[in-house]
Amino acid sequence: MMFYPFPKHFSWGSAIWAQGTEGAWDQEGKAATVYEKYYQLQPERFYQQQSPDETLDWYHRYPLYHDYLSQLNHQSFRTSILWARLMPDGKNVDPQARDYYQTIFRDLKQRGMDVYVVLYWFDMPVLFEDRGGFGNREVIDDFVAYCHTCFELFDDLVDIWHIYNEPRVDADLKYLDNRCYPNIVDFRYHSQVIFNMVLAHARVVESYKQHHFKKKIGSVIDINHVYPRSQGAEDIRAAETFALLNYRCFLDPLIHGRFAENYFTTLAEIDAAPQFTPDDLQIIANNTIDVLGINYYFPARVKAKERAPEAGEKKDRNAFYDFYDMPGRVMNTSRGWEIYPQALYDTLMMIKQDYRNVECYISENGMGVEKEWNFRGANGEIQDDYRIEFLQQHLRCVHRAVTEGVNLHGYHLWSFIDLWSPSNQFKNMYGLVEFNPQTKETRLKKSAHWYRQLIADNGFTLPDSEE
């Protein structure tokens, strides 16, 4: 047997998001988010028409869920604030919402957990989306004011602030993939939104530090580490462009304070370059992050384009590459995602080598499985050995990266409990804790016991045959 220990102050935990757990969608004056609007307009596009309205009712049931967190030895926990709940009219704080967030953050702290909070997680209030969302520079002002309000109200209860979770995905869902209100498909607008989100991020960091708040501040970026089909020049160029337009568009300005030299010229090739001013670039340069959250689930594999876009065909970032289905890939057939732990190691080493070895932690990593009730054991618990194996193999790669000097401070599993997902609602379950959307019953899975022991031991054991 081989034991894989982690550093003494490594922090273990898991994560949820507010939109997928809070419920209480129509209480205390809460305003609508883009997902609630999307469901109102097109409920048939949601898996089994499962709405974001009720979900887990964390708003009322948080003591139950926090008891589970304590039971599972959590040292830290990541959640988010709903802008539409805290400031329903976009300007004024709802006192009941303020009290709710203060209560849950304080309760987590009293249970011995560090609290990591995301300020924006796919949940733009409709009142701002109808003004153009982040595509409208005036909305940036409103967002900076909202973030500053959160800092004033909650900074004493928060250990790490994350301005965004997966901002590129947020733009994809609304302006490229037609998977969320306002269901716009416009890559030029998408590119402007990406730039404006980077600018808004820098302005929030600037505001935070100007007002002498002292906690760490950054964002969570999803990284689908990319591999070319071959070492041929065209395949390599395709992979480099994928990285540029999918994750370097945030990593470079947030960590280095600048976009890559060829970022804007690449977008100009398909008439999608954003508009900005020299002052914008200076604000971005002066306000980089303290800490990076890394979400990793699966790699990207690309190849050179097999055909050029036809005249008049709409172009987006896929104009530069085709996806490559590598023979022999190991797949999570429920989710349709490749399982490749090596990519997590490669991602962490990239952060060390190319991004000043910024302080970071794994903010999401996990396995979603459909119809998990099929794996229920005689004791009534879901026997999710597949999830334990997934975590073991990924954490072995994390351990290797840490021993090789990556400035990694913790690991958060996705997710703490089965919850409502933006992509497939309750179809695929990720949790350590089972949640039944029909009965609202909860129960630990086998993986929960394994993870609790891992935290207690600050490491895990693998048989020699699996090393």
Name the active-site residue from 129, 364, 372, 434: 364
The answer for 334, left when phi > 0, alpha when psi is -120 to 50, beta otherwise, is: alpha
Tell me, yes or no, if 389 is annotated catalytic: no
Judge contact between 122 and 52, C-beta under 8 A. Answer: no
Count of CB atoms within 10 A of residue 403's CB? 12
Apex CA 148: angle with CA 144 and CA 150, to 5°?
120
Q: What is the largest CA-CA distance in the chain?
A: 65
d(CA 416, CA 227): 30
d(CA 384, CA 374): 10
Name the active-site residue from 166, 338, 372, 434: 166
> Given CA atoms 142, 143, 147, 148 in this order, what sign does their dihedral have?
negative
Tell me, yes or no, if 44 is annotated catalytic: no
d(CA 95, CA 220): 28
Q: Nearest-CA neighbor of 398 among 434, 441, 351? A: 351
Here the tokens at position 132 are 């153009």
- Residues with active-site annotation: 166, 364
